[in-house]
Amino acid sequence: MNKNLRKAVIAGNWKMNKTRPEAKALIQELLPLVKDADCGVVICVPYTNLETALAATAGTNIAVGAENCHWAESGAFTGEISAPMLKELGVEYVVIGHSERRQYFGETDVTVQKRVRAALDAGLTVILCIGELLEQREAGITEEIVGMQTKAALGGVSREELGRIILAYEPVWAIGTGKTATAAQANEVNHYIRTVVEKLYDKEAADGVTIQYGGSMNAKNAEELLDQPDVDGGLIGGASLKAPDFAAIVKAASR
């Protein structure tokens, strides 16, 4: 499997952080630090920061994403935001199936699949999160879990549409815990996910799909993780809230 066939993408997931002035300041600090990046750079921000982020990144190499979207185009879904609403704003990316959505907001493989469908229909690129819980890793069923999540989420996604899917392997036990998967663990699961994609589509599709790692990736450990043959970038939580740290990860992916 040839890593050169894929573009590395470093995406920040700001989660529920930053007011608009804080968002603007962070982006302004980040822009000069990542302007020469030789990888995709995306920041996924709270809905309230989307317009601010789009204005601050206009004409730059930073793309903007949302952190979720609903599956319906519009309707009686109080508190939700639809994919066409994001598209109309100028948003390009959307995170779907994050483990925090699955853990705290009842997200299931079924709702993930519906949201992926809606995002693709609206013309967005999806950062699709999958990953096992600690108990599942300890029970030796990591591959079954991520395989099932991948198959469910990609159900109904055509080979052509796969070009607008980035997979993000995020072991739940490594998120926000400071406990990173080892580079070997990350690569092993990313490689397995690629074999699942190959079974669903074909080898060329599997070779071409970007698979990120996420979970306590930081300025210090990024290089080793990103050096792995099946790790094509990162989905960064905590470290994406500090411009120098995020920029160091972007630099590690650009080598």
| Interface contacts to ligand 13P, rule CB under 6 A | 13, 98, 170, 175-176, 214-217, 235-239
Phi and psi dihedrals of 70, rounded to 5?
Answer: -80, 165
Answer whether 30's CB lies under 8 Å from 12's CB: no
Which of 67, 70, 98, 132 does the annotation list as catalytic?
A: 98
Q: How far is the CB of 45 from ligand 13P (least distance, A)?
A: 12
Phi and psi dihedrals of 246, rounded to 5?
Answer: -65, -40
Q: How far is the CB of 65 from ligand 13P (least distance, A)?
A: 11
Q: Which is nearer to ligand 13P, 56 or 222 (CB)?
A: 222
Q: How far is the CB of 239 from ligand 13P (least distance, A)?
A: 6
Q: Which is nearer to ligand 13P, 157 or 239 (CB)?
A: 239
Instruction: Determine whether 98 is an active site residue.
Output: yes
Helix (H, G, I), strand (E, B) or coil at 96: strand
Which of 100, 107, 132, 170 does the annotation list as catalytic?
A: 170
Please give the Cα distance from 50 to 23 (Å, whole number): 9
Residue with structure tokens 């109080």?
78
Q: How far is the CB of 4 from ligand 13P (least distance, A)?
A: 26
Angle subtended at Cα 249 by Cα 247 and Cα 252, rounded to the nearest 5 degrees: 110
Q: Which residue number is nearest to ligand 13P in terms of Cβ?
A: 237
Q: Which is nearer to ligand 13P, 44 or 196 (CB)?
A: 44
> How big is the chain, counted in residues?
255
Q: Which is nearer to ligand 13P, 53 or 84 (CB)?
A: 53
Please give the Cα distance from 247 to 30 (Å, whole number): 7
Angle subtended at Cα 187 by Cα 205 and Cα 66, rounded to the nearest 5 degrees: 65
Active site residues: 98, 170
